[in-house]
C-alpha cells in the first residue's frame, strides 16, 4: 500500500531544535523573514500540493512512461497539467534569487520542500529538479545578458533546463568528450554532437528547454582541461517574448527504456549545428559545471530521502494492518484472528532500520543545506569558507552513502509487504526501481569514494577531515560526562579512532599502490557516513533528553531517543565492519588474474 505522509514534525525538529535554523537566518541578509511559522506553513503547503497533484500521477506515470511522438517527447498523462499548476502556484520560484523573480527561500527550506515532492512522485519531480541545477550554474557563471535572458523564465517555471554531459562513449570520464563547438563569427557557436542520459532532455511540459552543454572548441587541449560550457536553448528567442517556430538544430532521438523513473524523460539527444553561447571562459566548462554537479549530488540525497520516507510510510501502514500469526510472547490482539505483523520482533527491526536511516538522512541533508546558506550569505568570510569546505568534504558522503541506504529502506518496504510487495499492486516495488538510479547518476559510489579520499582528504593533507574528526571527538568527550549520553560518546570516540587510523593506512598504501584507493574507497565512505550520521543522532538524542528533563510529555522525544539508541546498537557497528573490509586492501582483488574470472 503506497502512501506518503509529510513528516512535518520531524522536519521542524531538525530545522529548529537541532539546527536552530531560524537563528542562523536572522544573521543572513535576505533570510530574516524565514521564521519557524513561515517554514512550517511552506512545508505543509508543499505536502498538500504534492499529495493532491503529484501522488495520484505516480503509479500511472510509471506505467505509461515517456515516449517520442510527433517529433518530440510526450510526458505521461496529467504531467504537463500538474506542471502548469506547479508553476502557477509559484513553487519553481521558491529558492530563486529575488533579482530574477524568485522568493529567496533558504537552501535548507528548498531541500525540505523537494523532499516532499520526490516522496510523492520522483519521476515528475526530476523535471523541475534538473532545472534547479542549471539555474544555479547560470547564476554563478552566466554573463549578465545570459542571466537576464534565461534566469527569470527558469525561476518562474515558464521554461525548464537541463545539463548535457554524458555521451554514448563516456560517462564519468568526461575527458573523452567529443561534442564540438564551432565559432560562428558573431559571438555565437554551432554545437554538434550526441548526448545521452539527459534527464528532461525533451518534453511537452514547458514551451522551451534551456540546455547547458559541454563541448570542445576547435583548438581545445585534450582531456578535461579542454571542455567548455555553452547555453543552448531548444527554441531560440525571437522578439520580446516570442520563440522560433522550429527547434534549434536539436532533437531527442530516443527516450531510454529504464528500470525506474519512467515518468522522467531520459533522452538521447542529437545537436546538429545548434546555436549556443559560451558560458564563462573557454576550456573552463567542467569547473563551471561543477556548481551544477555538486548541487545535483546533494539533490540525489534529497531524492533518496523523499523516496525513503515514502517507503517507510508504506511499510509502516501495511505492518499495522497485515495480520499474520501470533506474537512470540502471546497474543497482542486477542480480538483479532491473528496479530498485526508490527508485533513481530523482526518486523520491528526492519521498520526501525527504515526510520533510523530516513531520519539520519534528513539531519545530514538539512545540516549541509544550511551550510549552503552560510556559504552564500554569512557576513564573515571565515564562516563562508568553513561552510564551503564542510560541504566539499561531505557532499560525496551524502550522494554515495544516502543513495545506498535509501535503496536499503526501499528494499525493506518490499520485505515487510512480503509477496504483496513484489507485485506492482502495492506500489513499493516501484520505489525500489526508482531509487536504484540514485546510486548511478551524478557519479557512482566508487566515483564519490575516490573524490572523497583523493580530492577531499589526501590532496588536502587531511586538514578538513581532521577538523571534522576533532569536532566529533570533542562532542564525544563532552557527551561521556552527561547523564544519558555516555553510551553515545563512548561509541563515537571509538569510531573516530578507528576511521582516523584507517585514513592514515589508506594514505600510506596509496603512496605505494595507486589502486589502494579503489580497493578501500567505498567501504571507507560507508564507514564515514555511519560516523557522521551517528554523530547527528547523538546530537538529536541530547535535545530529546533535555526536553524530557524539562518535563515534556511529547512522545516525539521518546521516539527520537529510542531511534538514536537503535542506530548506535544496530547500525553504527557496520562502520567497524566496513573499516575492516577496507583494511584488506588489494590482496583479495589482485590475487585472481583477470583471465581466471572466466574459469
Q: Rounded to whole angstroms, what are the CA distances from 138 to 131, 145, 161, 377?
A: 11, 11, 11, 18
Task: With both helix axes pointing from N to C terminus, report the angle between 107-120 and 285-321 in degrees, rounded to the nearest 10.
Answer: 50
Per the annotation, the verdict on 36 as an active-site residue is no
- 8 Å CB contact between 160 and 200: yes
* 161: enclosing H helix or E strand: strand 160-164
CA distance 145 to 569: 56
Q: How far apart are the first and last CA of the chain?
A: 45
Q: H-helix or E-strand containing 225?
A: none
Report which of 123, 142, 204, 133 is spatially closest to residue 164, judged by C-alpha positions. 133
Instruction: Round to whole Å and give the CA distance between 263 and 62.
Output: 5
Distance of CA 335 to the CA centre of its chain: 45
DSSP state of 220: P
104, three cell numbers: 529567496
φ/ψ of residue 422, rounded to 5: -75, -30
Question: Any idea of the CA torsion for 109, 111, 117, 122, to the nearest 10 degrees?
Answer: 170
CA distance 25 to 31: 5
Q: Is the dihedral of CA 300, 358, 572, 496 positive or negative?
A: positive
- For the record, the C-alpha cell of 253 comes out as 532521438
What's the CA gap between 79 and 100, in Å, rounded? Answer: 26
**175, 420, 481, 484, 489 from 548: Cα distances, Å:** 56, 40, 18, 11, 19
- C-alpha R_g of the chain: 24
Q: How many whole angstroms separate alpha carbon 196 and alpha carbon 502?
A: 38
Facing residues of 323 across strands? 340
Quick one: cell of 316?
Answer: 509502516
For residue 112, the SS3 value is helix
> For residues 449 and 581, is the Cβ–Cβ distance under 8 A?
no
Pairing label, strands 67-69, 72-74 = antiparallel
Cell of 399: 550522494
Cβ–Cβ under 8 Å, residues 263 and 65 = yes
Catalytic residue among 167, 442, 477, 595: 442
Which residues are marked as active site?
442
Amino acid at each position: 500500500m503506497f502512501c506518503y505522509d509529510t513528516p512535518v514534525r520531524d522536519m521542524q525538529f531538525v530545522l529548529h531544535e537541532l539546527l536552530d535554523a531560524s537563528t542562523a537566518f536572522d544573521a543572513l541578509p535576505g533570510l530574516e523573514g524565514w521564521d519557524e511559522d513561515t517554514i512550517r506553513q511552506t512545508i505543509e503547503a508543499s505536502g498538500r500540493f504534492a499529495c493532491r497533484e503529484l501522488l495520484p500521477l505516480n503509479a500511472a506515470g510509471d506505467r505509461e512512461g515517456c515516449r517520442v511522438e510527433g517529433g518530440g517527447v510526450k510526458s505521461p498523462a496529467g504531467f504537463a497539467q500538474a506542471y502548469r499548476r506547479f508553476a502557477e502556484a509559484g513553487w519553481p520560484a521558491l529558492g530563486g534569487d529575488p533579482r530574477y523573480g524568485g522568493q529567496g527561500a533558504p537552501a535548507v527550506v528548498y531541500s525540505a520542500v523537494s523532499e516532499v515532492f520526490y516522496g510523492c512522485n520522483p519521476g515528475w519531480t526530476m523535471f523541475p529538479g534538473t532545472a534547479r541545477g542549471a539555474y544555479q550554474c547560470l547564476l554563478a557563471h552566466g554573463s549578465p545578458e545570459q542571466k537576464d535572458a534565461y534566469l527569470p523564465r527558469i525561476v518562474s517555471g515558464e521554461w525548464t533546463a537541463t545539463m548535457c554531459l554524458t555521451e554514448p562513449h563516456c560517462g564519468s570520464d568526461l575527458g573523452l568528450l567529443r561534442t564540438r563547438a564551432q565559432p560562428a563569427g558573431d559571438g555565437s557557436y554551432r554545437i554538434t554532437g550526441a548526448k545521452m542520459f539527459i534527464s528532461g532532455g525533451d518534453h511537452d511540459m514547458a514551451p522551451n528547454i534551456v540546455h547547458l552543454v559541454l563541448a570542445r572548441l576547435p583548438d581545445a587541449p585534450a582531456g578535461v582541461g579542454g571542455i567548455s560550457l555553452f547555453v543552448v536553448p531548444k527554441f531560440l528567442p525571437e522578439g520580446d517574448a516570442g520563440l522560433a517556430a522550429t527547434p534549434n538544430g536539436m532533437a531527442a532521438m530516443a527516450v531510454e527504456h529504464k528500470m525506474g523513473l519512467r515518468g522522467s524523460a531520459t533522452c538521447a539527444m542529437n545537436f546538429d549545428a545548434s546555436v549556443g553561447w559560451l558560458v564563462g571562459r573557454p576550456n573552463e566548462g567542467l569547473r563551471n559545471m561543477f556548481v551544477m554537479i555538486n548541487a545535483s549530488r546533494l539533490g540525489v540525497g534529497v531524492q533518496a530521502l523523499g523516496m525513503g520516507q515514502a517507503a517507510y510510510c508504506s511499510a509502516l501502514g501495511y505492518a499495522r494492518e497485515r495480520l499474520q500469526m501470533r506474537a512470540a510472547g502471546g497474543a497482542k490482539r486477542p480480538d483479532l484472528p491473528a496479530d498485526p505483523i508490527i508485533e513481530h520482533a523482526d518486523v520491528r527491526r526492519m521498520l526501525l532500520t527504515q526510520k533510523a536511516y530516513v531520519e539520519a538522512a534528513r539531519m545530514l541533508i538539512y545540516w549541509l543545506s544550511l551550510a549552503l546558506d552560510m556559504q552564500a550569505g554569512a557576513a564573515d568570510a571565515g564562516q563562508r569558507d568553513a561552510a564551503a569546505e564542510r560541504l566539499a568534504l561531505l557532499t560525496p558522503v551524502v550522494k554515495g552513502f544516502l543513495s545506498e541506504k535509501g535503496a536499503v529502506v526501499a528494499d525493506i518496504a518490499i520485505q515487510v509487504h512480503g509477496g504483496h510487495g513484489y507485485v506492482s499492486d502495492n506500489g513499493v516495488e516501484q520505489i525500489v526501481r526508482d531509487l536504484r538510479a540514485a546510486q548511478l547518476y551524478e557519479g557512482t559510489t566508487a566515483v564519490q569514494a575516490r573524490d572523497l579520499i583523493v580530492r577531499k582528504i589526501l590532496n588536502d593533507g587531511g586538514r578538513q577531515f581532521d577538523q571534522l574528526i576533532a569536532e566529533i571527538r570533542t562532542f564525544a568527550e563532552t557527551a561521556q560526562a552527561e547523564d544519558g549520553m555516555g553510551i553515545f560518546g563512548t561509541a563515537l570516540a571509538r569510531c573516530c579512532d578507528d576511521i582516523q587510523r584507517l585514513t592514515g593506512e589508506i594514505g600510506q598504501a596509496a603512496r605505494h599502490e595507486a589502486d589502494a584507493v579503489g580497493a578501500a574507497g567505498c567501504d571507507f565512505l560507508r564507514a564515514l557516513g555511519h560516523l557522521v550520521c551517528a554523530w547527528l543522532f547523538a546530537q538529536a538524542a541530547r535535545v530529546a533528553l533535555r526536553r524530557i528533563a524539562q518535563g515534556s510529555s511529547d512522545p516525539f522525544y521518546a521516539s527520537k531517543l529510542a531511534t538514536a539508541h537503535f542506530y548506535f546498537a544496530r547500525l553504527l557497528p557496520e562502520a567497524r565492519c566496513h573499516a575492516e573490509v577496507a583494511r584488506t586492501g588489494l590482496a583479495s582483488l589482485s590475487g585472481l588474474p583477470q583471465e581466471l574470472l572466466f574459469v
